[in-house]
Structure 1
């Protein structure tokens, strides 16, 4: 059994920024130990039990540096417990609406989660950070994901998410894993905004933070490249040359931090076909336990201290 905790960041519709919808995939075997590890990190830092730990704000009893180190320790704990990161990125300039983009992000990570579950011959639960969109369409959207699945895909009218047992709401403070996904997705947002906003003074800090996150991204077995499960840029076909440059610039920045995207051969057509995507991911198994394949640069990054907020 696997748990998928989801959250979004960069929801303010600023031109040049990317909406991030991401999720951490946690094995039920690893969940008790990871939860205990995060709780110990909190206790060692003296964080009050009722404090809702997020990327920001920091607890009053911690300095800026202590809080930065605490967040780093939580990310490292996730890596040590073989947590997988699935993410969806779209430029705000291209979004027709924030709510629709967020629902599309949910579709993408749920689809990719189901594909991973197919490969692992397992089942899972999806837990989403609670939010209200215009006209509260999200409730019907999640009901449709469970009862029908995905609709109007490029190569399939419907695709049933058979290995997902159901989507449910959660919120920060209701699990240690809600703190984890908030820290992860907000770290992605912070680092990417440093690049897209041209904040050269924070560039090295952002690269170090992304390198810390790099081992979490789901990869094809034995490859340094992050699979589309781990990092999907939407849309796949971008007609505007200016926006293509924006996307490529962010891809290059992520690659510099140890998370390169797959290179598409010139002239090849992108596809979302479920059967094709299911074949792209490979999993390593050792002692009957799943392990994520980490890039050499991603592993090396674990020894680096990020200097982000």
Structure 2
């Protein structure tokens, strides 16, 4: 059984240039390992029961210093990579996404990552569970994803219930995996925002390499293909605005720099 736990960040253009949605895919065995690893990290750095271990430094409990908070987050990401957790990420420029309501924007993201997860499960001949961070406005859409599947750009629905057996919600502090998702997604957010000029380049260069390696992809001839697998840059249609194209180009170039320059090319035949 696989588990895909998701969340959103950069909910508005004040928080960052891009809206980001995504999460971690883990197996049953990896879920147990992550739980054990985070228990140890929490104990090591003085997090008490009920304390949140999240990416934002300001969310740390009073007894945990800033250096210890940063060290704990670094060790969480290192543990996730070591254990083999995989990332699926969706990004879209706020200036484009803002043409839709927040509800529609969320549904687009859910549709995209659901289908990506379904493809992963299909390739591995596995079944799984999909959990999103609590959002009371999305109960109906989660039911729709199970009953009829995500809607594609051409209006078709693709059934996924033969692989994804449960859609549901989780919440802060309801599992160590939720904490791990917040930290991984928060780290990715920091790097995306830094690419746009809001953050420290050196820090992004430290954070991003393990996250880049965690993105679900496919190795072909020594090249890891992640676009339309672990990394979904939207929209897929041609962007006509020169200024928007420049923003996306800068994002891709900066993330590639932060990752250490690993090559990535869309797979032939993929949208």
Q: How does 1:40-119 map to 2 (within 5 A)?
A: 40-56=40-56, 57-95=59-97, 96-119=100-123
1:58-108: CA deviations, max 9, x gaps? 121222111111001001111111100000000000012332222211111
What is the match of residue 171 of structure 2?
A: 171
1:257 aligns with 2:255: no
1:193-236: CA deviations, max 9, x gaps? 1221x24x711111221123122111212423434211110002
1:163-212: CA deviations, max 9, x gaps? 0001111011110000000111111112211221x24x711111221123
* Alpha-carbon distance, 1:247 to partner: 0.6
Give the TM-score normalised by the residue count of structure 1. Answer: 0.79
Give the paired residue count. Answer: 262
Judged with a 3 Å threshold, the aligned counterparts in structure 2 of structure 1 residues 270 and 243 are, in CA distance, closer, same or farther, namely farther
Say whether the 8 Å CA contact 2:256–2:262 is kept in structure 1.
yes
What is the match of residue 212 of structure 1?
A: 210
Say whether the 8 Å CA contact 2:3–2:27 is kept in structure 1.
yes
* Alpha-carbon distance, 1:260 to partner: 5.4
Judged with a 3 Å threshold, the aligned counterparts in structure 2 of structure 1 residues 45 and 94 are, in CA distance, closer, same or farther, namely same
In 1, the alpha carbon distance for the partners of 2:248 and 2:203 equals 21
| Mean CA deviation greater in 104-113 or 206-215 | 206-215
Say whether the 8 Å CA contact 1:227–1:262 is kept in structure 2.
yes
* Alpha-carbon distance, 1:142 to partner: 0.8
In 1, the alpha carbon distance for the partners of 2:51 and 2:102 equals 29
Secondary structure of 1:22 counterpart: strand
Judged with a 3 Å threshold, the aligned counterparts in structure 2 of structure 1 residues 80 and 16 are, in CA distance, closer, same or farther, namely closer
Judged with a 3 Å threshold, the aligned counterparts in structure 2 of structure 1 residues 260 and 247 are, in CA distance, closer, same or farther, namely farther
1:16-54: CA deviations, max 9, x gaps? 610110110001122112211111110111211111221
Secondary structure of 2:109 counterpart: helix
Structure 1 unaligned spans of 5+: 272-309
What is the match of residue 5 of structure 2?
A: 5
* Alpha-carbon distance, 1:262 to partner: 3.8
Say whether the 8 Å CA contact 1:15–1:93 is kept in structure 2.
no
Q: How does 1:193-212 map to 2 (within 5 A)?
A: 193-196=193-196, 198-199=197-198, 202-212=200-210
Give the TM-score normalised by the residue count of structure 2. Answer: 0.90
In 2, the alpha carbon distance for the partners of 1:264 and 1:172 equals 35
In 1, the alpha carbon distance for the partners of 2:106 and 2:13 equals 12
In 1, the alpha carbon distance for the partners of 2:200 and 2:77 equals 20
Please give the root-mean-square deviation of Cα atoms over the aligned residues, in Å: 2.1
Judged with a 3 Å threshold, the aligned counterparts in structure 2 of structure 1 residues 190 and 217 are, in CA distance, closer, same or farther, namely same
Say whether the 8 Å CA contact 1:6–1:24 is kept in structure 2.
yes
In 2, the alpha carbon distance for the partners of 1:184 and 1:15 equals 17
* Alpha-carbon distance, 1:153 to partner: 3.8
